[in-house]
């Protein structure tokens, strides 16, 4: 296990997990306050009261590429696979820095780790066929004043990227250092033809820190943001004249470049604050972190005014350990169009969607269908969860479900809505490559630590060498009363079955990068290996479990 070094609070010469195991007999919870440097033992505090709906929903601006006349200096293009074939059309620069963030007027400004000073980070608006270079500069102080680590590395979750640009947990860099990523923005290839396959398109992705041992703390401090991909089908233009365009709700960007008017990214997370309103983090909690304040786009229980027309909501569970069962308070239905950012073959009419950590759902909501007397409804979470083990299995009554977002319905005023939800979306890519082998991955607990196949994570050990151009079946399973949202980097498996049953016609159908394993679950997936060579991780996306070694390395080899 690697020592986190002088850039973390655990800088006494031994690793973080060693510290935690050695402290396991202490009583109470071990909290670090993000304003002060002292540590304190306490029972888990409740956050102070905050008045709901006190502020509007916030949106971070789009990342803007650097001007062509101001290119990045000293980029080593030889570091990137296939760069001659996929040269960058644009370049970006992002600073990872400490900034003060206040999620509610009745809470304090807490020091946060941010992308360009924002929580969440600015939104990347990407297009297939336009590769980019992005430089992340580590502008953090040399010594961390509280929990987390000053060492960072950024991962685009569900990105089809070469390992040198994937943001794996072994690629950390310290304050004063930068790292360049080449995001090819190319479809995964069809192995039968060798050509990029538009059926493999991904739409709603996000980026976040992936610091080895400190991913949970760094994400909790603010290192996450949206990464959206468009192509000729999902073009981001509801007035697109291309006959192949889906024309999903979008509108046009407003003058501040902070959002498309009707295409709404929603980052859901939970946090906890002390009596003075400062953000706190329990460094001794190894089961999972649960907050008691619900944040949407970085604000506690905001409100959002909507017109009586169709909206696209991109819902992301970016928390540490909490699962969600998202409903509208009036029980209204919506069109479910994508899981984990992947379009399904045809929209599904649903009332709710369940999201494990890192799962996403793209839905289209038609507020014009509401009665004229309806002036407000709420987005609520009906998933009961009382600790980091996972959901209890109970569904909360609607009137007892925590409210996440208030939606204020404006009066009907001659609204023009040119958007639509096509009856057919994306065809699923074929499973036409013979299966080379089957592998079993069991997610469990051993001696108080989280393991995969009985082993703790070792970045120097390859647990699976997968030949490029082949396919395999991977089986995921878990035991005990624990839930594990399993995430695979780079290659996106196709779900075959859950507990021996077909997933066709369910939200699990098609390609997924996050697989929520509930207690006793078994999930089988079909996975291809294409386009890039090198090493990647698979891990539980309950970030507490990931940081306590529930991860393994697999390699794509010649």
pLDDT reading at 248 higher than 70: yes
Q: Which H helix or E strand runs over 18?
A: helix 16-22
pLDDT at 35 over 60: no
Task: Convert 450-480 to b/e letters by CB count within 10 Å (16 or more is b).
Answer: bbbeeebbebeeebbebeebbbbbbebbbee
pLDDT above 90: residue 256? no
Edge to edge, the sheet with strand 471-478 lists 449-452, 435-446, 471-478, 522-528, 494-498, 501-502
Whether residue 439 sits in one domain with residue 314: no
Domain match, 459 and 541 both? yes
Residues 279 and 405 in one domain: yes
CATH number, domain containing residue 449: 2.60.40.420
**Domain annotation covers residue 120:** no
Same domain, 282 and 343: yes
Range with top average pLDDT, 4-8, 173-177, 286-290: 173-177
DSSP summary character for residue 186: -
> Does residue 33 fall inside a structural domain?
no
- Summarised one tens digit per residue, pLDDT across range 354-372 is 999 999 999 999 999 999 9
Which stretch of DSSP H or E encloses residue 218? Answer: helix 215-220
Cα separation of 470 and 125, whole Å? 32
Q: Does a structural domain hold residue 449? A: yes
Task: Give the phi and the psi of residue 398 in degrees, each rounded to 5.
Answer: -55, -40
393-414 pLDDT per residue, tens: 999 999 999 999 999 999 977 7
Angle at 219 between CA 76 and CA 358, to 5 degrees: 95
**Same structural domain, 372 and 446:** no
On whether residue 85 sits in a domain, the answer given is no
Q: Residue 376 burial by CB count (10 A; 0-12/13-18/19+): exposed, middle or buried?
A: middle
Q: How confident is the model at residue 446 (pLDDT cuts 50, 70, 90)?
A: confident
Domain boundary among 409, 443, 462: 409
Nearest to 228 by CA among 265, 257, 200: 265
Confidence bin at 22 (pLDDT 50/70/90) = very low
Whether residues 325 and 395 share a domain: the answer is: yes
How far apart CA 269 and CA 157 sit, in angstroms, is 16
Same domain, 460 and 515: yes
Domain boundary among 409, 424, 459: 409
Average per-residue pLDDT in the chain? 91
Residues 529, 539 contacting (CB under 8 angstroms): no
Q: Which of 22, 46, 41 is nearest to 31 (CA)?
A: 41
Both 393 and 452 in a single domain?
no
Q: Is residue 535 part of a domain?
A: yes
Q: Would you say residue 174 has pLDDT above 80?
A: yes
* Domain identity same for 524 and 440: yes
Q: Is the pLDDT of residue 486 over 80?
A: yes
The pLDDT tens digits for 63-108 are 999 999 999 999 999 999 999 999 999 999 999 999 999 999 999 9
Residue 54 covered by a domain: no
Peptide bond into 528 cis (omega under 30): no
Last residue of a domain, one of 393, 409, 425: 409
Is 331 among the domain residues? yes
Note whether 392 and 447 are same-domain residues.
Answer: no
- Same domain, yes or no, for 391 and 477? no
464 token code pair:
């699976």
- The whole-model pTM stands at 0.92
Of residues 38, 21, 43, 48, the one with CA closest to residue 107: 48
Tokens in use for 206?
Answer: 């996000």
From the list 99, 98, 184, the residue with the least C-alpha distance to 142 is 98
Tell me what the mean pLDDT of segment 256-277 comes to. 88
Q: With residue 360 as reference, give the H or E element that holds it.
A: strand 360-366
Cα Dmax for the chain: 67
> What is the average per-residue pLDDT within 454-458?
96
Judge if 395 and 281 occupy the same domain.
yes
Q: Name the residue range of residue 394's domain.
A: 263-409
Q: Could you tell me how many helices (H) and strands (E) the chain has, helices first?
A: 3, 34
Mean pLDDT, residues 58-64: 93
- Does residue 546 sit within a domain? yes
Q: For the chain, what is the domain count?
A: 2
pLDDT tens profile 310-325: 999 999 999 999 999 9
SS3 letters for 222-262? CCEEEEEEECCCCCCCCCCCCCCCCCCCCCCECCCCCCECC
Mean of pLDDT values over 300-317: 97
């Amino acid at each position: 296990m690697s020592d986190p070094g002088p850039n973390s609070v655990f800088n006494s010469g031994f690793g973080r997990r060693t510290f935690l195991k050695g402290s396991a007999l202490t009583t109470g919870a071990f909290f670090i306050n993000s304003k002060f440097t002292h540590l304190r033992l306490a029972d888990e505090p409740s956050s102070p009261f905050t008045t709901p709906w006190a502020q509007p929903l916030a949106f971070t601006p789009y990342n803007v590429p650097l001007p062509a006349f101001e290119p990045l200096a000293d980029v080593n293009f030889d570091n990137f696979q296939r760069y001659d074939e996929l040269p960058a059309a644009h370049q970006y620069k992002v600073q990872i820095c400490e900034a003060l963030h206040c999620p509610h007027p009745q809470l304090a400004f807490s020091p946060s780790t941010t992308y360009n000073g924002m929580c969440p980070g600015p939104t990347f608006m990407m297009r297939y066929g336009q590769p980019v270079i992005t430089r992340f500069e580590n502008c953090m102080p040399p010594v961390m004043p509280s929990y987390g680590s000053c060492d960072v590395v950024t991962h685009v979750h569900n990105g089809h990227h070469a390992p040198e640009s994937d943001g794996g947990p072994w690629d950390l860099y310290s304050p004063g250092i930068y790292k360049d990523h080449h995001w090819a923005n190319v479809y995964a290839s069809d192995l039968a033809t060798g050509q990029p396959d538009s059926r493999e398109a991904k739409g709603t992705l996000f980026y976040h820190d992936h610091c080895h041992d400190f991913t949970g703390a760094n994400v909790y401090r603010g290192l996450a943001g949206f990464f959206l991909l468009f192509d000729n089908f999902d073009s981001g233009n509801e007035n697109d004249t291309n006959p192949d365009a889906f024309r999903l709700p979008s509108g046009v960007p407003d003058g501040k470049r902070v959002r498309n008017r009707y295409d709404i990214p929603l980052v859901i997370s939970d946090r906890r604050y002390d009596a003075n309103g400062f953000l706190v983090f329990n460094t001794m909690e190894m089961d999972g972190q649960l907050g008691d304040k619900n944040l949407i786009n970085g604000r506690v229980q905001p409100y959002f005014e909507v017109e009586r027309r169709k909206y696209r909501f991109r819902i992301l569970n970016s928390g540490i350990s909490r699962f969600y069962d998202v409903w509208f308070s009036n029980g209204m239905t919506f069109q479910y169009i994508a899981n984990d950012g992947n379009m399904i073959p045809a929209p599904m009419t649903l009332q709710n969607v369940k999201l494990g950590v890192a799962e996403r759902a793209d839905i289209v909501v038609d507020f014009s269908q509401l009665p004229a007397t309806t002036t407000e409804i709420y987005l609520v979470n009906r998933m009961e969860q009382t600790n980091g083990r996972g959901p209890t299995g109970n569904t909360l009554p609607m009137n007892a479900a925590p409210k996440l977002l208030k939606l204020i319905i404006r009066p009907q005023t001659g609204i023009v809505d040119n958007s639509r939800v096509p009856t057919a979306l994306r065809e699923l890519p074929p499973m036409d490559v013979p299966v080379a082998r089957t592998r079993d991955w069991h997610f469990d607990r051993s001696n108080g630590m989280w393991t995969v196949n009985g082993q703790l994570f070792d970045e120097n050990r390859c647990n699976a060498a997968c030949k490029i151009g082949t396919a395999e079946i991977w089986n995921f399973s878990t035991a005990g009363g624990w839930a594990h949202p399993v995430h695979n980097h780079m290659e996106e498996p196709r779900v075959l079955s859950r507990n021996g049953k077909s997933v066709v016609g369910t939200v699990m159908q098609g390609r997924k990068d996050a697989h929520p394993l509930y207690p006793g679950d078994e999930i089988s997936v079909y996975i291809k290996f294409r386009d890039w060579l090198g090493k990647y991780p698979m891990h539980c996306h309950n970030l507490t479990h990931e940081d306590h070694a529930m991860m393994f390395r697999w390699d794509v080899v010649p």
